[in-house]
Chains A and B, each alone.
Chain A
């Protein structure tokens, strides 16, 4: 029976086809786009990594922290008069508007992260709940926030808000790098370096590392564990808010209640790829995953392959090197 099953299987392009020529032609543009997406993944991945490092918990609600930031960006910008077409404003005005949207998104996301921590996780921590209970709560919170958004804003994506028209900046290997890609990558890298410095140099950062290493000892040494946990969630929220601005900049019509979910899985895959609990790992993992996903999507000929490829990467990394590329935990990262 099995052999006849195999022979009757359609073996032409019905299943999966590879388009190597397209990948060769679009290699550099795929690279630049991949790096852009990768920086967004990396910013979201940092939120997962920090919370995982400190609490050993996959904060499933982080994808909703991110999508709330997207909604904040959408409301701020459409309130400021941005619409589907890029507005004709001076550079300074655009920068000011975007900064305002960035700050509001950061506040909205950080507030969401804070509330999620206080309402959902703190009661569980208090009574020392088993790990499974934490995970189920986390997914429940994520699910609930998604459907609250859906209830208020409906199931369809919000109308697009275009921030500015990407202008070509320079040429690399015959491929144009535009202002949008440049802004996203540079801003994201600056933010991640700042986070890394904050965690490795500041007093609070030392507290975060101490709690990540050994919560009980850290408490004995005078670290306020609850405060550190809140700060960790808030930092994750702030970075997710920044990621939200860049995400809307890159995909103007991507604000939808399910938008955070798939990006969240990709960001988590990025965090695992780089080494979960590792701040530099999140950056590396994000950029790598952005590249791999984009190459895969062009090779396989459909944008939805990005998610599949990211998932395959996650499973492969877990199979081969579960500690990720850089592999150290938050607590043991260099001071």
Chain B
């Protein structure tokens, strides 16, 4: 999980040196940002960053193990109310978390509003269903093979939709995706080959049988599916985390913060926006394929556009731009209606109001997007100064001096 999203810590020797450098750097512009940010003592992210790398790893391993054990332990207070199978609820939470991670790439990192995310989810689910269900006229392939196919197809749709809209201002993307979310459902209804409400029965599932000869992956038992999707989430997090800290991630944040400035600084904004959109779409397709395998039945009834607003609410609630936030937000949006069945009927209303209230009062969500990339840049600057220090002693002083001058001017 967040093992990937911290700035790569400097080795301890370098850290000691950077502490020495800090005095000289306090007036530098980057450091002043750090100082301001440092004024939030005790915030979760702060405490997390204060831990050593080993402690972070230990903590993460515990969290991951607990997450895997969750449906087995079935904790009494957390468990869902009778009538909602806890294993299936776990799967549903994990599914929402995966969707939120994907949507977070689009909304959180690149700052593009995708209101039709359910469409990509639906495309993935349909691809998986149509390639495995006996009801479709397509060629049949093993279920696990449909997952990459589903991701490729949704990515293709993402690119097709992204190219006309991403050249323009972000607002157009919002309305085009909103329309697309509805169109996919309508097309599934009116194109005879998509079978509308009849849908596709007995979608495939991964191979494997338990000791008693029954298949492991069934529609009624959510636990193996939960473990599968949890593993997928961890893999996706590792990949997305690496992307986030790469050149691509920096480009996304630059676009999110100020697209014009990013363009002027030489970031090919259109290219990176299409990338963000396509990657987000393919993660949506991935979760759709997993979903269709688990429920085993896909029809047009499962993908109304209102669900995509729930997805947006999940990302925004957790904190756009924060992977941990996306996971928590996604899990919460799925969990709350399952845990408190009394309010399940009003979930859309509740999350709709929540969306507006969060935006007006706390637009950063539960877990604010940490300005990791700025912090990362700061560390890079320190590292550069140190190297200067080591190689040509005067160079560092001169640079520090200019930094100070700049700080004074500012």
Contact = CB atoms under 8 A, between A and B. Distances in A.
Interface residues of A, number: 53
A316 to B, nearest CB: 8
Contacts of A268: 175
B221 to A, nearest CB: 31
Given A144-B353, A302-B190, A269 B312 contact: no
Nearest to B193: A14
A267 B176 CA distance: 13
B118 interface: no
Contact of B360 (A13, A16, A123, A150): A123
B306 interface: yes
Interface stretch (B57-65, B85-93, B177-185): B177-185
B189 interface: yes
Interface stretch (A30-38, A133-141, A191-199): A133-141
B172 A137 contact: no
B139 A135 contact: no
A143 B348 contact: yes
Contact of B349 (A8, A16, A141, A147): A147
Contacts, number: 139
Contacts of A140: 309, 313, 352-353, 355-356, 359
Interface in A271-312: 272, 302, 304-305, 307-308, 311
A221 interface: no
B139 A4 contact: yes
A132 interface: yes
Interface stretch (B162-170, B323-331, B389-397): B162-170
A13 B163 CA distance: 30
Interface in B182-207: 182-183, 186-187, 189-193
A256 to B, nearest CB: 14
A13 B190 CA distance: 12
B186 A307 contact: yes
Contact of B139 (A5, A129, A311): A5
A318 B179 CA distance: 13
B359 A124 contact: yes
Contacts of B260: none
Given A57-B171, A302-B190, A136 B349 contact: no
A123 B191 CA distance: 45
Nearest to B354: A140
A10 B193 contact: yes
B359 A136 contact: yes
Query: Which of B139, B316, B352, B359 has the most A CB atoms < 10 Å from its CB?
Result: B359
Given A148-B349, A318-B164, A318-B172, A8 B179 contact: no
B176 A315 contact: yes
B360 A120 contact: yes
A281 B163 CA distance: 24
A40 B305 CA distance: 23
Given A132-B107, A305-B190, A8 B139 contact: yes
A139 B312 contact: yes
B147 to A, nearest CB: 15
A269 B138 CA distance: 34
A13 B193 CA distance: 9
A135 B137 contact: no
A311 B180 contact: yes
A265 interface: yes
Query: Which of B113, B165, B306 has the most A CB atoms < 10 Å from its CB?
Result: B113
A139 B191 CA distance: 29
Contact of A131 (B171, B346, B356): B171
Contacts of A5: 138-139
Query: Which of A4, A10, A147, A307 has the most B CB atoms < 10 Å from its CB?
Result: A147
A318 B137 contact: no
A135 B170 contact: yes
Given A147-B349, A151-B349, A139 B176 contact: no
A265 B179 contact: yes
Given A5-B138, A9-B138, A139 B309 contact: yes
A92 interface: no
A290 B382 CA distance: 61
B237 to A, nearest CB: 23
A262 interface: yes
B187 A308 contact: yes
Interface in B256-294: none
Contacts of A173: none
A15 interface: yes
Contacts of A60: 174-175, 178
B111 interface: yes
Contacts of A315: 161, 164-165, 176
B172 A265 contact: no
A136 B190 contact: no
B359 A322 contact: no
A274 B356 CA distance: 31
B363 A133 contact: yes
Given A10-B137, A141-B356, A143-B348, A135 B174 contact: yes
Contact of B355 (A10, A15, A136, A150): A136
Query: Which of B176, B320, B356 has the most A CB atoms < 10 Å from its CB?
Result: B356
Given A132-B170, A144-B355, 4 more contacts: A5-B139, A13-B192, A131-B171, A139-B115
5 contacts: A14-B192, A137-B360, A151-B349, A314-B175, A315-B164
Interface of B: 107, 111, 113, 115, 137-139, 141, 161, 163-165, 167-168, 170-172, 174-176, 178-180, 182-183, 186-187, 189-193, 305-306, 309, 312-313, 316, 320, 346, 348-349, 352-353, 355-356, 359-360, 363
